[in-house]
Chain A
C-alpha cells in the first residue's frame, strides 16, 4: 500500500513540477512560452492530431513487435546453443561480442541502402538492437543453470536432451525474461530513432513532423505518447513475467 502511495506520489510530483514551471514561465518569460507548453496545452495539441494517433501507434507497435519477435527467436535460440555447447559458445560468442558494441543506429544507413526505405530496414534495425540483450541473458541463464538441479534430473532418469528441455531451460526462465523485458525496451528505444530518421508515419515521425512545423506542444505530446505506450507495453510484459514466474521466491519472501 505505502509502495503505491510513494509511486503515485513521485509521478504526481514530477507532473506538478512541470505544470508549475510552465505556468511560471508564461508569466516570467524565462523562455518563449511556446517552448514550454503546459499539460493542458499538450493534451490540446494531441486532440488536434487525434485522427492520426491510432494509426501512428499501431504502425509503431507493429514495427516493434516484428523486430522484437525476430530478436527473441534468434536470441533465445543462439543463447541456448552457446549456453549448452562449448563448441557453439566458441563459434557464436566472439562474433557477437564484436558486433555488440556497434550502435544499432550505425546500421540504419546500411540497411536503408540494402533494403530501401520500407519497413524491412527499420524492423531489422530494431531486431538487431534488441537481439543482443536477449541473447546474452539467455546464454548466461542456460550456461549457469543450477548444476544441482541438473544432477537431480539426471539421477531421476532424464537423458541429457530431456534434462535440458525440462530443467535447464525452465531454470533459465527468469534470466530469459529479464532479457526479453530489456530487449523490448531496447526495441522501443530504437524504434523512435529509426522513425525520426527514416519514416513517414509512426510515433517517432510525428515528433519530427512537429519539429518542421515548430510545434513544441506537439513534440511534447509525441514524447508523452511514446512514454505512455512504452509504459503500458513494458508493464504488460512485467505482469506476464510475474504470472509465469510465480514459483520464484520474491525479495520479500526469500529465505
Chain B
C-alpha cells in the first residue's frame, strides 16, 4: 500500500457553446500514500465534483487522474467512498453491508467473515452485526459506512463531507475515531469538508479551492503534531492560515 494519487491539469466542463460551464480548471495536486488531505472551499467551487472524478463517477474533460500508474476510468474497489448521507443498503444488515464489497470481489467466505469481524471491532459495533441500518443512530450508520468503504482494503478513502449531517457532539467523536482508524490502517484519505475546524483538526495538508471557475488556490501544509490540541496556539495559528486563505477564496478581488 504505497501508491500516490496524482491529479494533473484536471478540467471539468459541462455543456458546449454559450451553455458551456467550466466547473473545474487546471487542478493539480499529488497526494502521497498514507497522507490525510482535506479540500475546503466555498459552495460551488467543485470540491464534490473533484471527489466524484477521483471516485470514477465523473470523467474529467481534460488532464489526468492517476492512482499509482493506473489512470482512473471508473469506480473501483481500490477507492473506498464515504458519502455525506450514510448510503447504507437499507435491506442489508450491518454485517451484510460491510461484506458487500469483498463479496462482489469474490473473496472467500472465510476471508470475508474475518474481515467483517475485524472491521466491526475497529468501529466498536461488534454487537450490532445483525442490526438493520434503520436501528442505528446517525453516528453509528456513518461508522458502518466507513467500515464498508474500508472492507476491500482500498488504496485510499474518499470522504465527501461525511460528518456534515451529524450533530456537533457526534461529529467530534467520529473525527477522533476517523483519526484512530487512519493511524491504524495507514490508508490515504481525501476528505471534503466546508468546516475549517474539521480540516485543521484532521489533515496533514489542506487544499483551499475557489469557485467560478473552480480551482485550487493553494495547499497548506499544517505541520501540526498529533494528537492536536484545539486550544493550543499552534492549532489556532494553523486554523487562522486556512481561514484567511478561504476568505480570499470566497471574496476574490
A166 to B105, CA, bound (A): 13
Indicate whether B139 reaches chain A with its CB closer than 8 angstroms. no
Of A149, A166, A247, A248, which contacts B104 at CB under 8 A? A166
Of B57, B77, B80, B91, which contacts A170 at CB under 8 A? B91
B77 touches A171 (CB 8 A): no
Known: A151-B57, A156-B77, A171-B90; 9 extra A-B contacts, CB below 8 A, are A149-B87, A154-B56, A154-B57, A156-B101, A162-B104, A170-B89, A245-B91, A246-B132, A247-B134
Please indicate the chain B residues that have their CB under 8 angstroms from the CB of A167 in the complex: 89
A253 to B133, CA, bound (A): 12
A157 touches B90 (CB 8 A): no
B134 touches A152 (CB 8 A): no
Indicate whether B55 reaches chain A with its CB closer than 8 angstroms. yes
Please indicate the chain B residues that have their CB under 8 angstroms from the CB of A248 in the complex: 90-91, 134
A245 to B149, CA, bound (A): 25
Q: DSSP majority for the B interface?
A: loop
B100 touches A166 (CB 8 A): yes
Please indicate the chain B residues that have their CB under 8 angstroms from the CB of A153 in the complex: 89, 100, 104
Q: DSSP majority for the A interface?
A: helix
Query: Given A148-B83, A151-B75, A253-B134 in contact, is the A158-B91 Cβ separation under 8 Å?
Result: no
A28-81 residues at the B interface, CB under 8 angstroms:
none
* Per-position 1/0 for A154-168, Cβ under 8 A of B: 111111001000110
A173 to B92, CA, bound (A): 13
Please indicate the chain A residues that have their CB under 8 angstroms from the CB of B134 in the complex: 247-249, 253
Shortest Cβ distance from B84 into A: residue: A148
A38 vs chain B, min Cβ distance (A): 49
Query: Given A148-B83, A167-B89, A170-B91 in contact, is the A155-B55 Cβ separation under 8 Å?
Result: yes
A177 vs chain B, min Cβ distance (A): 12
B76 touches A152 (CB 8 A): no
Please indicate the chain A residues that have their CB under 8 angstroms from the CB of B91 in the complex: 170-171, 173, 245, 247-248
Of B55, B77, B92, which contacts A157 at CB under 8 A? B77
A157 touches B56 (CB 8 A): no
Please indicate the chain A residues that have their CB under 8 angstroms from the CB of B83 in the complex: 148, 151-152
Please indicate the chain A residues that have their CB under 8 angstroms from the CB of B56 in the complex: 154-155
3 nearest A-B residue pairs (beta carbon): A157-B77, A156-B101, A154-B75
Please indicate the chain B residues that have their CB under 8 angstroms from the CB of A151 in the complex: 55, 57, 75, 81, 83, 87
A155 touches B105 (CB 8 A): no
B147 vs chain A, min Cβ distance (A): 12
Shortest Cβ distance from B83 into A: residue: A148
Could you name 6 residue pairs across A and B whose Cβ atoms are closer than 8 Å?
A148-B85, A149-B89, A157-B76, A170-B91, A171-B91, A247-B91
A247 to B134, CA, bound (A): 7
* Per-position 1/0 for B98-115, Cβ under 8 A of A: 001100110000000000
A155 touches B79 (CB 8 A): yes
* Per-position 1/0 for A166-198, Cβ under 8 A of B: 110011010000000000000000000000000
A248 to B81, CA, bound (A): 24
A128 to B55, CA, bound (A): 45
Query: Given A155-B75, A156-B148 in contact, is the A247-B100 Cβ separation under 8 Å?
Result: no
Please indicate the chain A residues that have their CB under 8 angstroms from the CB of B85 in the complex: 148
Shortest Cβ distance from B85 into A: residue: A148
A238 vs chain B, min Cβ distance (A): 18
A246 to B100, CA, bound (A): 20
B48 vs chain A, min Cβ distance (A): 12
A165 vs chain B, min Cβ distance (A): 10
Please indicate the chain A residues that have their CB under 8 angstroms from the CB of B105 in the complex: 157
Shortest Cβ distance from B158 into A: residue: A155
